[in-house]
Chains A and B, each alone.
Chain A
Amino acid sequence: MNPIGNFLQGLGRAQFFLFSLLLAIPGVLARPRLLAQQLYSVGVLSLVIIVLSGSFVGMVLALQFYRTLQIFGASESLGVAVALAVVREFGPVVTALLFAGRAGSALAAEIGLMKATDQLSGMEMMAVDPMQRVVAPRFLAGLISMPLLSFIFTMMAIGVAGGHAIGVSLLGVDAGSYWAGIREVLHGDDIRDALIKSLVFGAACSWIAVYQGYHAAPTSAGVARATTNTVVISSLAVLALDFVLTALMF
């Protein structure tokens, strides 16, 4: 089959997969312990990378914006600039990219290896639906974790370990101006849009990860390919979806 045919076939398969995934979600909600385990491994274990990255991104933005704002004598607006950039774009997007690299790849590898070692077949033969027991809890955990991780990333980037550390502590911007500017300019709409982006990215990244793992060829090369595909496709999907969502919210 030609590449376009393959692509369309894959897209159709992924949509059927998503449909069965959504049908399995009510069953997961009835077993919160399964979900809690996955929230820990998908969300809590991603905290370190999110906290550190948020801080560094905030510091870099503060340095870059300060140089430019100073030219116009507007260095007191540093807090606003950092906050708008992080809340509207960097928070949801960078969190999603980091999520794809840390949790998405781990999800794909874990499910792919479960398939390669017949654990999923074993469940099927024990009359246990792997979609409900394995796939749906991981998908749901990704969907819930993403906005929370994005919120933490944003707080770290704007706050005392990120932009504030550089702007106020190092470059001497007034702390009152830094926070007052943010309060004045940042609106509820910005936070709502960031939340929508995070939810969409969370759904896309988790869907791609569990789909790639579930359909991985049951070999070591197959699992490696699924892991790579997860990171590459998720990253591209996040950037493309970000453009579409930003255009719609503009």
Chain B
Amino acid sequence: MSNDATTALVRVRGLRFSHGPKLIYDGVDLDIPRGKVTAIMGPSGTGKTTLLRLIGGQWRPGAGRIEFDGNDVHAASRKQLFELRKRMGMLFQNGALLTDLTVFDNVAFPLREHSALPEALIRDLVLLKLNAVGLRGARDLYPEQLSGGMARRVALARAISLDPQLVMYDEPFTGQDPISMGVLMRLIRSLNDALGLTSIVVSHDVQEVLSIADQVYVISGGKVLGAGCPDEVRQAESPRVQQFLRGEPDGPVAFHYPAPPYAEDLLGVAA
């Protein structure tokens, strides 16, 4: 295990992964540097969430190697994997809060499961985390009483409750109003810096992500199309990267899903 600040916390080498017949990753290499916010961007369906699940060891790659802090995630036993996961936090797109628990109990959940801390100390830690995301006052609410933005902030408080090294954010801005989006952006950046975390943000909200990321990977078609700091990515020559950054509806990534010629379809050649 390496704690060298110059090495990547997560290293992905030669990643290949298929979902059914569809090839999602075709030999991808990635490095997630320690202490930085790394954005993984790309069009919908390119496998950004899949990458987080592969890093977390929930899914297994067809080929390649994923290391977390020097440990091969997919060579680990289930017990070892769970030990690695205690050092990771993940914020799911829908929050994934446990619906039968209050906000307080959701944030306390990992602490109660993995520590023998007295309840009084757990209370203080939970209030500390909830205060960090501005929801200390919502501790007694249930998930169904929260707005989408609040639910994600609670999920963020839960993700950092065990003081992990790595926090993975799956589409944190999707469906958020501008205020919630601004709050989440500020939280991701400030928590990363204040707690010395390493963050991976998966998103296709280009401007928001580029404004908080230290490093960006643009992925499409199973390959890394562009990588570097936000300015380098903005200047990238790849037409696919430029189409994605500018939000152009047609280009290398076609507007139309592959189909037979339109005229042929309309003029009645039976399907």
Chain B interface category by residue count: 20 to 34
Chain A residues, Cβ within 8 Å of B83 = 127
Binds A, one of B84-92, B205-213, B236-244: B84-92
Asked if A121 and B85 make an inter-chain contact with CB atoms under 8 angstroms apart, the answer reads no
Chain A residues, Cβ within 8 Å of B109 = 126, 128
Residue ID in chain B nearest A110 by CB atoms:
B100
Asked if B85 and A117 make an inter-chain contact with CB atoms under 8 angstroms apart, the answer reads no
A residues 93-120 in Cβ contact with B at 8 Å: 114, 117-119
Residue ID in chain A nearest B114 by CB atoms:
A127
Asked if B92 and A126 make an inter-chain contact with CB atoms under 8 angstroms apart, the answer reads no
Chain A residues, Cβ within 8 Å of B93 = 118
Asked if A125 and B58 make an inter-chain contact with CB atoms under 8 angstroms apart, the answer reads yes
> How long is the Cα–Cα vector from A118 to B110 in the complex, in angstroms?
16
- With both chains docked as a complex, state the minimum distance between the C-beta of B48 and any C-beta of chain A, in angstroms: 15
Asked if A126 and B94 make an inter-chain contact with CB atoms under 8 angstroms apart, the answer reads no
Contact partner, A117, options B94, B114, B158, Cβ 8 Å: B94
A56-69 vs B, CB cutoff 8 Å, 1 = contact: the mask equals 00000000000000
Chain A interface, DSSP helix/strand/loop, else mixed? helix
Asked if A125 and B113 make an inter-chain contact with CB atoms under 8 angstroms apart, the answer reads no
Asked if A126 and B113 make an inter-chain contact with CB atoms under 8 angstroms apart, the answer reads yes
Asked if A125 and B90 make an inter-chain contact with CB atoms under 8 angstroms apart, the answer reads yes
For the complex, is A122 an interface residue (Cβ under 8 Å from B)?
Answer: yes
> How long is the Cα–Cα vector from A118 to B158 in the complex, in angstroms?
15
Chain A residues, Cβ within 8 Å of B85 = 124-127
For the complex, is B56 an interface residue (Cβ under 8 Å from A)?
Answer: yes
Asked if A121 and B99 make an inter-chain contact with CB atoms under 8 angstroms apart, the answer reads no
> How long is the Cα–Cα vector from A126 to B162 in the complex, in angstroms?
9
Asked if A125 and B99 make an inter-chain contact with CB atoms under 8 angstroms apart, the answer reads no
Chain B residues, Cβ within 8 Å of A128 = 109-110, 113
Chain B residues, Cβ within 8 Å of A117 = 94, 96, 99
- With both chains docked as a complex, state the minimum distance between the C-beta of A118 and any C-beta of chain B, in angstroms: 4
| Residue of A117, A123, A129 ringed by the most chain B CB atoms within 10 A | A117
B residues 64-112 in Cβ contact with A at 8 Å: 82-83, 85-86, 88-90, 92-94, 96-99, 109-110
Asked if B90 and A122 make an inter-chain contact with CB atoms under 8 angstroms apart, the answer reads yes
> How long is the Cα–Cα vector from A221 to B93 in the complex, in angstroms?
21
Chain B residues, Cβ within 8 Å of A127 = 82-83, 85-86, 110, 113-114
Residue ID in chain A nearest B155 by CB atoms:
A122
Residue ID in chain A nearest B113 by CB atoms:
A128
Asked if A124 and B110 make an inter-chain contact with CB atoms under 8 angstroms apart, the answer reads no
> How long is the Cα–Cα vector from A133 to B88 in the complex, in angstroms?
20
Contact partner, A119, options B53, B82, B96, Cβ 8 Å: B96
Asked if A121 and B92 make an inter-chain contact with CB atoms under 8 angstroms apart, the answer reads yes
Chain A residues, Cβ within 8 Å of B90 = 122, 125
B residues 149-208 in Cβ contact with A at 8 Å: 158, 162
> How long is the Cα–Cα vector from A119 to B114 in the complex, in angstroms?
18
> How long is the Cα–Cα vector from A32 to B99 in the complex, in angstroms?
21
Asked if A122 and B58 make an inter-chain contact with CB atoms under 8 angstroms apart, the answer reads no
Chain B residues, Cβ within 8 Å of A114 = 99
Chain A residues, Cβ within 8 Å of B110 = 126-128
Asked if B113 and A118 make an inter-chain contact with CB atoms under 8 angstroms apart, the answer reads no
Asked if B58 and A124 make an inter-chain contact with CB atoms under 8 angstroms apart, the answer reads yes
Chain B residues, Cβ within 8 Å of A126 = 85, 109-110, 113, 158, 162
Contact partner, A122, options B82, B92, B113, B162, Cβ 8 Å: B92
B119-163 vs A, CB cutoff 8 Å, 1 = contact: the mask equals 000000000000000000000000000000000000000100010
> How long is the Cα–Cα vector from A118 to B93 in the complex, in angstroms?
9
> How long is the Cα–Cα vector from A126 to B110 in the complex, in angstroms?
6
- With both chains docked as a complex, state the minimum distance between the C-beta of B153 and any C-beta of chain A, in angstroms: 15
Top 9 nearest A-B pairs (CB, nearest first) are A122-B96, A118-B96, A127-B82, A127-B85, A125-B90, A118-B92, A126-B110, A127-B86, A128-B113
A-B contact pairs, 9 of them (CB 8 A): A117-B94, A117-B99, A119-B96, A119-B99, A124-B58, A125-B58, A125-B88, A126-B158, A128-B113
